[in-house]
Amino acid sequence: MSRRVIISGNWKMYNTTAEAKELVEGLLAGVKDLGEKEMLIFPPSIHLKEVVAQCEGSKIQVGAQNMYFKEEGAFTGEISPTMVKDAGADYILIAHSERRHVFGETDELINDKVKAAFLYDLKPVLCIGELLEDYEAGKSKEVCRNQLVEDLKGISAEQMKQMVIAYEPVWAIGTGKVATPEIAESIHMSIREVLKELYSEEIAELVPVLYGGSVKPDNAAGLLVKPNIDGVLVGGACLKADSFLGIANA
């Protein structure tokens, strides 16, 4: 069974309106050559509508970086699933390491967000990954397993068919360090084992598992060639069109 290959980019808190427009223009000029690979970008929510409109009819799909799990209410500074849908986005990035470790999101809150994504017909890209101390203590697989078990509570096998998992070792994000393709492949295999345990072999083989953590054009090919790495979630290197396209074409 061949899985989808997804080249995704998280813009984080970068880009003015003019910069966002210029970046998308650059991507649109080069995205035609991607073949079967999919491209997915996560701009800041303030740019969602403009980016969606710019990407309409192209191979570029758009998602939001974050949302709250309630439809509406007194939650100042948050955006709701209905707002994300209204802006035209199809995907939602959930539990990026910065949401977990900078903003203190718990697995309980993350689980609520995953449930809300499916309730409002958004496709979740669920991020999991271990801290440096976990990695050094040999607990990478244990931490990822625990996050998956907690974050996927109450999620059905049918819903999982729309799920994307992104493994991002926190020690490799923005640090210049990157998990070797062998380390990443080993964790990705263990993620499939957990999905098989929670659901079935069919689901474990179907769900795309992306790698995130200091991905650049010069290391992308070594990662993407691995059988259990189905794409990447790129940070800094997605902010320049030539760099992101270089990764996509690796």
**What residues does each domain of the chain span?**
6-248
Q: Which candidate in 96, 105, 185, 188 is catalytic? A: 96
168 catalytic residue (yes or no) = yes
Reported in sequence order, the residue ranges of the chain that DSSP labels E, i.e. its strands, are 6-10, 38-42, 60-64, 91-94, 123-128, 164-167, 209-212, 231-234
Of the listed 47, 168, 185, 188, which one is catalytic? 168
Instruction: Provide the Cα torsion 149, 152, 157, 162; round to 10°.
Output: -130
Cα distance between residue 181 and residue 230, in whole Å: 12
In a 3-state reduction of DSSP, which class is residue 75?
coil
When pLDDT is cut at 50, 70 and 90, the band that residue 174 belongs to is: confident
- Overall pTM > 0.75: yes
Q: 10 forms bridges with which residues in the sheet?
A: 42
Mean confidence (pLDDT) of the chain: 96
CA–CA distance, 150 with 164 (Å, rounded to integer): 16
CATH 3.20.20.70, domain 6-248, yes or no = yes
Q: What is the dihedral of CA 81, 239, 18, 14, to 10 degrees?
A: 60
Residues 3-38 pLDDT 10s: 999 999 999 999 999 999 999 999 999 998 888 999
Residue 177 banded pLDDT, cuts 50, 70, 90: confident
Write phi, then psi, for 4 (nearest 5 degrees): -65, 145
pLDDT of residue 1: 56
Asked if 88 and 64 count as a contact pair (C-beta separation under 8 A), the reply is no
188 is catalytic: no
